[in-house]
């Protein structure tokens, strides 16, 4: 069983409408009369359809024979059990707070209600058996989930996974997890029709959310990796100011809302490099920016195999700025992949930077000997003054590294040849 935890990041505005619906649904659940399950089951067993329909009309339950505005409204704010309520409200909070922040409270209200009305009425009219009735906010919640799917398509969603005795928090991409865990599962359950859940209402509600958010997205375009308008506004502020500390603070604020906004992270990293070069060294503020952002930027694109975007930044980092403090979260494979990418691109000195980093982090690794052999081959082909200058800087930034010893030997040999 999966419980959605949303994006797991800060939201840029208070989710008034989301929490209002949570409070309203919870309040109405505890004051609503208990369902007379025994009487309903008795009438169903007797196959006394006319009496059953009369009972539904008397209680204003949503049924094929009692599909009115009042029964549709009542059904959206009624739940059959506490677990039914909790399940819907957990999902509403998990998805709703982010959807409301993107759509705005007014649009959120519209899609929530339209999804509920169309989901329940469509399910009742086309799929509901004459002896059954519908209740619950599931169609409303699924309309919000449909919005989430479109608006946060390229993002990652956190789930709490419960399976027998296993409790685990997992992170999955929205574009893959939603079609499988929600759409495909709902369609399968609908086709199997082996439970008392109105999966058709869920699917109609989700369809409403998808269509609504697609229209909203076209009329209110915000280009990825930005999600919220406030990100764009703050980013414009960061670009206009010349104060590095203010730029860093504004970018950190944006990344609290959207931590995978790589454009913002790249912007502040480039500003930090400018500061490093203009100051002729590394101060505390610049170092902190590198510590906070460098590995996260590079790590994101390694995982997506976008080494070209890694190279966009790495090529701008001067050799005098050692890598060792900043990439400690990268795995052995990730560091080797970066080194191999630059080796294949014939950026030999940059490749050596990452092989040096690997040897520094993992000196006892089984891969170290092979990497040193590769480095020996690379070093043998480097002879230009520019290359030798870079090698000397690499040697000085990490003197006790095994690769640094090879570089020292290489530089000594080249010096002897020149002499």
pLDDT at res. 401: 83
Nearest-angstrom CA–CA distance, 216 and 220 = 6
Nearest-angstrom CA–CA distance, 253 and 250 = 5
Nearest-angstrom CA–CA distance, 258 and 227 = 7
Q: What is the mean pLDDT of residues 90-106?
A: 94
Structure tokens at 55: 């009972």
pLDDT at res. 159: 83
Structure tokens at 359: 């040897």
- Arithmetic mean of pLDDT over the chain: 90
Nearest-angstrom CA–CA distance, 271 and 70 = 59
Any idea which of 48-52, 61-65, 219-223, 282-286 has the lowest mean pLDDT? Answer: 48-52
Structure tokens at 222: 């915000």
Which pLDDT tens digit goes with each residue over 338-383?
999 999 999 999 999 999 999 999 989 999 999 999 999 999 999 8
DSSP state of 80: S
Structure tokens at 380: 């043998």
Nearest-angstrom CA–CA distance, 394 and 319 = 7
Q: pTM for this structure? A: 0.84
Nearest-angstrom CA–CA distance, 94 and 4 = 6
pLDDT at res. 286: 95
pLDDT surpassing 60 at residue 132: yes
Q: How confident is the model at residue 49 (pLDDT cuts 50, 70, 90)?
A: confident
Coil, helix or strand for 205? helix
pLDDT at res. 416: 53
Q: What is the mean pLDDT of residues 179-206?
A: 77
Report CA 390 to chain centroid distance, whole Å.
39
* Residue 3, φ and ψ in degrees, nearest 5: -115, 120
CA dihedral 153, 156, 162, 168 (to 10 degrees): 170
pLDDT at res. 419: 44
Cβ neighbors of 42 (< 8 A, separation 6 or more) are: none
Structure tokens at 93: 């909070």
pLDDT surpassing 70 at residue 263: yes
* Residue 77, φ and ψ in degrees, nearest 5: -115, 25
Nearest-angstrom CA–CA distance, 216 and 211 = 9
| CA-based nearest residue to 264, from 224, 291, 303, 299 | 224
Nearest-angstrom CA–CA distance, 298 and 341 = 13
Longest dimension (CA), the chain: 109
pLDDT surpassing 80 at residue 45: no
Q: In b/e form, how buried is each residue of 390-415, taking b as 16+ CB within 10 angstroms? A: bbebbbebbeebbbbebbeebeeebe
Nearest-angstrom CA–CA distance, 245 and 255 = 15
Nearest-angstrom CA–CA distance, 203 and 419 = 79
Q: What is the mean pLDDT of residues 37-53?
A: 78
């Amino acid at each position: 069983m999966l419980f959605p935890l949303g994006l797991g990041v800060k939201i840029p505005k208070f989710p008034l409408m989301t929490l209002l619906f949570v409070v309203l649904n919870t309040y109405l659940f505890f004051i609503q009369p208990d369902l007379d399950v025994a009487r309903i089951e008795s009438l169903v067993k007797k196959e006394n359809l006319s009496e059953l329909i009369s009972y539904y009309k008397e209680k204003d339950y949503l049924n094929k024979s009692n599909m009115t505005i009042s029964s549709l409204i009542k059904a959206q704010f009624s739940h059959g059990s506490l677990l039914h309520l909790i399940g819907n409200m957990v999902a509403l909070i998990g998805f709703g707070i982010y959807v409301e922040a993107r759509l705005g409270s007014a649009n959120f209200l519209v899609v929530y209600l339209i999804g509920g009305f169309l989901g329940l009425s469509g399910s009742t009219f086309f799929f509901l058996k004459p002896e059954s009735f519908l209740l619950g906010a599931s169609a409303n919640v699924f309309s919000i989930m449909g919005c989430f799917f479109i608006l946060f398509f390229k993002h990652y969603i956190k789930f709490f996974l419960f399976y027998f005795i296993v409790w685990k928090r997992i992170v999955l991409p929205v574009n893959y997890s939603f079609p499988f865990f929600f759409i495909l599962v709902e369609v399968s359950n609908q086709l199997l029709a082996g439970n008392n859940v109105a999966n058709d209402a869920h699917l109609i509600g989700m369809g409403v959310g998808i269509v609504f958010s697609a229209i909203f997205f076209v009329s209110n375009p915000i280009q990825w990796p930005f999600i919220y308008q406030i990100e764009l506004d703050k980013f414009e502020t960061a670009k206009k100011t010349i104060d590095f500390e203010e730029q860093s603070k504004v970018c950190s604020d944006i990344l609290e809302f959207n931590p995978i906004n790589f454009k913002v992270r790249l912007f502040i990293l480039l500003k930090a490099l400018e500061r490093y070069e203009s100051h002729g060294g590394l101060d505390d503020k610049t170092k902190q920016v590198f510590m906070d952002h460098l590995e996260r930027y590079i790590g994101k694109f390694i995982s997506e195999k976008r080494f070209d975007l890694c190279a966009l930044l790495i090529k701008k980092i001067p050799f005098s700025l050692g890598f060792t403090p900043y990439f400690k979260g990268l795995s052995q494979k990730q560091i080797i992949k970066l080194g191999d990418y630059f080796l294949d691109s014939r950026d030999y000195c940059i490749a050596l930077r990452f092989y040096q980093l690997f040897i520094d982090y993992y000196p006892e690794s089984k891969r170290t000997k092979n990497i040193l052999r590769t480095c020996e081959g690379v070093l043998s082909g480097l002879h230009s003054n520019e290359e030798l200058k870079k090698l000397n800087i690499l040697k000085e930034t990490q003197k006790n590294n095994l690769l640094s010893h090879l570089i020292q030997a290489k530089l000594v040999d080249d010096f002897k040849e020149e002499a």
